[in-house]
Structure 1
Amino acid sequence: MSFQLEKYKGIHPGIILERLLAKKEISQRPFALSIGEHPQTINAITKGRRSLNTALALKIEAALGLEEGSLAFLQTYYEIAQEKKKVLRTPNLSNLRKSLFWDTDISKINWDKQYKAIIQRVYERGNETEKKEVEAFYGLPKIRVALQNSTRKPYTIHKNKQKA
């Protein structure tokens, strides 16, 4: 079976595997046992909790009649997409003083996961340039969420800038 790989770039190969098994009406457990793998391994892959190594990808491709390397290709592009998400989500650091984040390495901050603490810190200790940078990066709706349950109030949000 051959399918267009281009349209699946960036999608975890386990999702594609799950769809292929469902389409062929094959249960995960018997399939896993037929290729000499633990059912838990196949389940973790189809749920996106585990990556697909090359050796297992080749076994699965052979068993399902897929083009050799197609699932490994998808795994590689999924990993590339995940790395791009990490790299691209950073505000303009030249607009934020490093001293604002004195207790941590600013290059290692996860700007998505730690957004509430970052926003609160900038609104507590930051200047107007830093507040504007945070507003441009996160958008006003996310800033309102981060500040609504804060113990320190009031915060002033620039109302002349609307970003969704």
Structure 2
Amino acid sequence: MFKEISIIKGIHPGLILERKLREKKLKKSRFAITIKEYPQTLTAITKGKRAMNPTLAFKIEQALGLEEGYFMVLQAFYDMKEEKLRQHSSNGTPDLSKLRPGLFWDTDINTIDWQGQKRAVIERVIERGSEEEKAEIKRFYGEKAFNKIAGALKLQHA
């Protein structure tokens, strides 16, 4: 179990559950009913909108023939990754040594409201930043927020 988990740790357990169900050709709603759960609960977990809990993890692991604790270990690693991201972003500013001041030529980089201007910062870096600058902004705001704004930006320019 731990060799596989070391490869997938940090991924929401719902995504792994989705993959396991697909591998066994099981429909989420039918599987949910067989383990006496609401299909909406399973859907929320597989979309990463809800955390795995011990009771549900135990039912799923038994039904799929997985080792006991598999999904809770994944949930713990996912929670740790999210906490690290929260602590990094709560520092207030990204690592300015990785951003060119010229990227923000129209303002003083030290006076940017990094949370209040998140969308503008991400858009600016996507449009004009280097790969290193994009990576730093993605790390600072989180991949989910970065990708959401990047997707919206692509739609605007399409």
**Do these two structures clear the TM 0.5 threshold for a shared fold by scoring above it?**
yes
Unaligned stretches of 5+ residues in structure 2:
95-103, 126-131, 134-158
Moved over 2 A (4+): 89-93, 141-146
- Structure ranking higher in helix proportion: 2
- What residue number does 2:19 align with? 19
Give SS of 1:26's match: coil
1: CA distance, partners of 2:47 / 2:57: 16
Once the 2 structures are TM-superposed, how far is the Cα of residue 3 of structure 1 from its aligned partner? 6.9
Query: Which residue of the partner structure matches residue 46 of structure 2?
Result: 46
TM-score, normalisation: structure 2: 0.60
Deviation at 1:88, TM superposition (A): 1.4
**Could you tell me which residue of structure 2 aligns to residue 145 of structure 1?**
124
Distance 1:21 1:143, change over 3 A: closer
Report the equivalent of 1:98. Answer: none
| Alpha-carbon distance in 2 for matches of 1:92, 1:50 | 29
SS of residue matched to 2:4: coil
Rounded Cα–Cα distance in structure 1 between residues aligned with 2:44 and 2:22: 16
Identity of aligned residues (%): 41
Q: What's the CA shift for 1:91?
A: 4.5
Q: What code does the residue aligned with 1:87 have?
A: Q
Higher CA-based Rg: 1
Matched residue pairs, number?
A: 114
Matched position secondary structure for 2:67: coil
> Partner amino acid for 1:34?
T
Aligned-CA RMSD value? 3.6
What corresponds to 1:102 in structure 2?
none
Give the aligned partner of residue 77 of structure 1: 77
Note the C-alpha offset of 1:2: 8.9
Cα distance, 1:91–1:73 mapped onto 2, change above 3 Å? same
1:26/1:3 Cα in 2 relative to 1: closer, same or farther (>3 Å)? farther
Residues of 1 paired with 2:28 and 2:8: CA distance? 21
Corresponding position of 1:112: none
Which amino acid is 1:47 matched to? K
Q: CA deviation at 1:5?
A: 1.1
Is the 1:2–1:66 Cα contact (8 Å) retained in structure 2? no
Taking structure 1 as the reference length, what is the TM-score of the superposition?
0.58
Q: 1:59 to 1:144 in 2, by over 3 A?
A: closer
